[in-house]
Structure 1
């Protein structure tokens, strides 16, 4: 079968190769991939940045966002059937550590991830742990099925606090930031302020998915936040860039007693003056990682079935499998939203 493999430990370093078919283990399901989508994590692997150099051991089939069809079920599995339409939770959890027992499998003490720790889904077929597969609701538009992993990140972040009737800011207009805008609007936020940087393409997408205001580099974010909220500041700020300077921006945009939720992954330490920015204003800071398993998936399915989420503007490019490298270069270039690949 064909697979997209990180072959060489260098920027790019990716080839489309013929590899052996995976074997379905007793606790697995063999899935025929229908559609995959490119994530920021895949860009890190492709670019071979500091995180990738520490986390990835080539050769590796990468990719973790997909929708597909079950073609074989392991002998120990009785809750999946051949022909099921599935997507997947990429975080592989043990089920027996303290965090798993507490209902926090997304921060399992023994967490791994397919497409990072084990072979991923940028291929024609993959054997995946059955416990990680989510049977898709037939009422969800097919073009959205491979987006449930990143959409779940946005749902987890936005639903970490109450946004109904509240003023919220979303820092970052990448694909997950755009999804967070749509989720916040669907959840009933009074107004959603998107903060981009210099990427006019993505800031235009932010408007299309429902941002009430879009701020850019050079704007006085704190001043505008107060002007839009009667001098108070934002009830909730969601940081989705991983840019160290955005943390201070978020703290200053948030009101006293407000919430700052951090989803972005940082490549360097962040230094913050805590007294004025956190302690004296009683700012509630939340760390967000992945998706709650399976709470977030249930919420995500409900939102998608409601018809309140319009993700069409976010899906900006679609490529055939053999043109994957063109898709990746488009993603790296920045003038795109979500890119999906037909297998």
Structure 2
């Protein structure tokens, strides 16, 4: 288990010159509808952080591709013995490790610790006990370590990533982004927001949310509900149950309840193209009509989207063709990539 949960978060620190932009949600477009479809983490601006933006990007170890399928540990005596020995040693070092993690994060967040450049980046292995303390995730994680939680068939690292992003946001506040996201414009005006992935064409209301982009204040009650839902309903055998489907379930329950202040942004904000159509962004013009469509779609994305989710599982093998929307976006955003192929892993 120790080798199966290798994760780190790459934290970036920027001091860009932000331009003002509208933060309000635009009207829903019929781009992403169920019938047609299948860390960066930033502490919000404050006196303590000035106008700096801090981001954390999720990174996953390639070791066994995090496909850790653990049996219930209490059913395996040898695993119980090794786990007990390992965690006895871990308990002795826990205080030092927690302090080290907290100190490294706080030092990184300290604006006085940065050099003269506008970008700062580091990789920090998360301390789950520190991040989950005093949340419903604390008891769940302890039971997982003891072998009393069945991790299921979905890679454990994937589900821990779903929980970790919630813990980071709840602990520090800010912006979380998956690593297969291209940011197009400032998020400065966004506050306590999550994006819809699809909408119901008949009602115009969202039908599914996604947790690849989330912007929330520290200690936001919706984040607590997300964490609580994870701990109470965890199912390691259903893809998406502890991620996109989880945030969709919780938001559908708390919408219009007092005490929650958040915004659901339309699909165009972060998911302008559904995963099943992501290849269209990598294709160059095939004809005059196709060229016109590409230009119209590019203009729509630049106008309405804060970011583009590349759906890496589907797009990792695509070639970035000349004249494609992705080529235009990458050139304009200053991203560097291989001219023949692109991989967002």
Asked if these proteins are the same fold (TM beyond 0.5), I'd say: no
Give the TM-score, by structure 1 length. Answer: 0.28
Higher relative contact order, structure no. (Cα contacts within 8 Å, ≥ 6 residues apart): 2
Which of the two has greater helix per residue?
A: 2
Give the TM-score, by structure 2 length. Answer: 0.28
